[in-house]
Copies of this chain bind each other. A is one copy, B any other.
Amino acid sequence: MGVDEREALLDRLFAVTALMNEDMDRGMRSLGLTPARAHVLWVVSARGPCTQRALAEELSVSARNVTGLVDALVDTGFVTRESHPSDRRATLVTPTPRGRRTADRMVREHRRFAQLLFGDLSESQLRALGSGLEQVSERLTGALRGRP
């Protein structure tokens, strides 16, 4: 007893994450972005112009993959490749005005989404959920280190 409740809870969590993904995918699609491209635009908007190498590490993805994602974002007008001031091998992926506007909308959507999910939670509920997630993160990280 107790195991079944926890498995049901896990299934409910899976259902929630599926709904979250569906909602976010729609939001991105309505902006003309796929999830992977949106992630790139999000990073270059938050951290300023990045080399593709830095993007590959930030996204935990191959350099080749970044080339393709940046190609697509250039083709659709969200970013440009600017020359690096001191390293002629590197490019700086830089948002266009359209890219910046779109990133601003993503920031607002992020806020709206946080309000949708957690808007009616009290301060103590927020803290409880936060520390619960923190604990779960640590256990998951430990499990992943355990069998890499």
> Which residues of A are in contact with B by a Cβ distance under 8 Å?
2-3, 5-10, 12-13, 15-17, 19-20, 22-23, 26, 110-111, 113-119, 121, 123, 125-126, 128-130, 132-134, 136-137, 139-141, 143-144, 147
When A12-B134, A132-B129, A144-B22 are in contact, do A139 and B110 touch as well, CB less than 8 Å? no
Contacting pair B6 A114 (CB below 8 A): yes
The one of B7, B12, B118 in contact with A6, judged by C-beta atoms closer than 8 angstroms, is: B118
The residue in chain B whose Cβ has the minimal distance to the Cβ of A119 is B6
The residue in chain B whose Cβ has the minimal distance to the Cβ of A120 is B135
A39 to chain B, nearest CB (A): 11
Contacting pair B136 A6 (CB below 8 A): no
Which residues on B sit within 8 Å (CB–CB) of A137? 12, 15-16, 19
Contacting pair B141 A3 (CB below 8 A): no
A76 to chain B, nearest CB (A): 22
A85 to chain B, nearest CB (A): 32
The one of B9, B117, B119, B140 in contact with A20, judged by C-beta atoms closer than 8 angstroms, is: B140
The residue in chain B whose Cβ has the minimal distance to the Cβ of A10 is B114
Cα of A132 to Cα of B23 in the assembled complex, Å = 18
The one of B6, B19, B136 in contact with A140, judged by C-beta atoms closer than 8 angstroms, is: B19
When A3-B115, A6-B118, A114-B10 are in contact, do A23 and B140 touch as well, CB less than 8 Å? yes
